[in-house]
Amino acid sequence: MILRRPYAFLIKHFRLIHLIMFLILLYIIDKARYILNFFKDYISFNGNIEVISSNYISYYIFIGIMMVIMLSFIIYYLMKYKNKPRVFYIGTIFICLISFILFIYLYTRIRGLETLTPSSRMIRLYRDLSRINFWLLVVASIPMLIRGLGFDIKKFNFTSDLKELHLNKEDSAEVEVNTDLNYNGIKRMVRKTFRELKYYYNDNKMIINIIIFILAVIVIMVFPFNKYVVNSDLNEGEILSTNYFNIKINKSYISDRKRISLNNSYVIINISIIGKVDKYSLDLDELVLISKNNKYIPSQKYYNYFTDIGVGYRDNILSTDKYQNYILIYNINNIDKDNEFKLDYLNSNKLIRLNLEVLE
């Protein structure tokens, strides 16, 4: 099997790779700016703004950061192979790692603001960290754009980075790989490979450890973070943001009042809801109550049993100016009475945990 060294490809696409990294950083910078503006507004309005944490973070941010880090490592090795300065790429990797951590921290702080009100000093701290995150990314992106355009700051003209990298035939030389199955040879090759890998690791311990750390961060942080933090279940009092409305559960109850038989009870959910589009009304069948054994949809015929709790929702057009309060009622089987309940809006990837209070 014949393989080619990748250096020629990297040199030919040197500017394009840097422009791709710049565009990724531009996307991440925009998200960092969005978070910074949130904290600025929160301070300006003394906390009197709606806080929906899911609007400020996306796993695409973390994927983008990891792509910049991996591309920086690739270019770092190209520059090392060509014996060229490579401090910029170490700096880029370092900045991206710091930004990765700051995005996670700031998201958890925003989510905390949905239910808690921290001191003004802490809010200013979050704002300052957001500003640091924003400007670090800006600092990393400017040289990336300059390298992508090929602009030589020292000479102030567009010179070719490719000439300085000295593209030659060896960079794309063919390498013959023997694929014949010789078991003794394979054993010798494996032993030799492990021995050379050991030497290589000892010679490049710092860089390899950084790569291992980055891969560990991807596995340990990105995907669990997206699953258990960004898309984790919400609690009562937290806002579920959808494309058409925002909904919050104020209180939930379970009651045997006027039940039909000994085998049923009612779950009553008091909600606050505001529309995002004009003339929108809820489809109650999409607000599913989930228990260990069954799923339930709301029933409107029991509203008169609980008028002391609130007004039942009946195809009302949602206000886009202010939150309105309604109740939803679910007729449940007593087999589920002592189980945990969650409210599931079918067009969302989040559930809301209920903390049921017994209502006489």
- How confident is the model over 277-294, as pLDDT tens digits? 888 998 888 899 998 888
pLDDT, residue 253, reads 93
Q: List, for residues 149-159, the tens digit of each pLDDT value.
A: 875 444 434 34
Q: Is the pTM of this model over 0.75?
A: no
Q: Please give the pLDDT value at position 9.
A: 66
* Residue 22 or 84, more confident: 22
pLDDT score of 96: 92
* Element (DSSP H or E) covering residue 343: strand 342-345
Q: Which domains does the chain have, with CATH numbers?
A: 2-230 (no CATH), 239-359 (2.60.40.1240)
State mean pLDDT over 71-77.
84
The confidence score (pLDDT) of residue 156 equals 36
Residue 219: pLDDT band with limits 50, 70, 90:
low
Percent of the chain residues topping a pLDDT of 90:
21
What's the average model confidence in pLDDT over 223-230?
A: 57
The residue to which tokens 């903390």 are assigned? 355
| Confidence (pLDDT) at 173 | 54
Instruction: Give Cα separations from 224 to 21, 133, 162 (angstroms).
Output: 25, 22, 41
Higher pLDDT among residues 119 and 161, named by residue: 119
Tell me the DSSP string of 276-299.
Answer: SSTT-B--GGGEEEE-SS-EE---
> Which amino acid, residue 349?
N
Cα distances (angstroms) measured from residue 143 to each of 8, 138, 256, 278, 293: 23, 9, 68, 45, 58
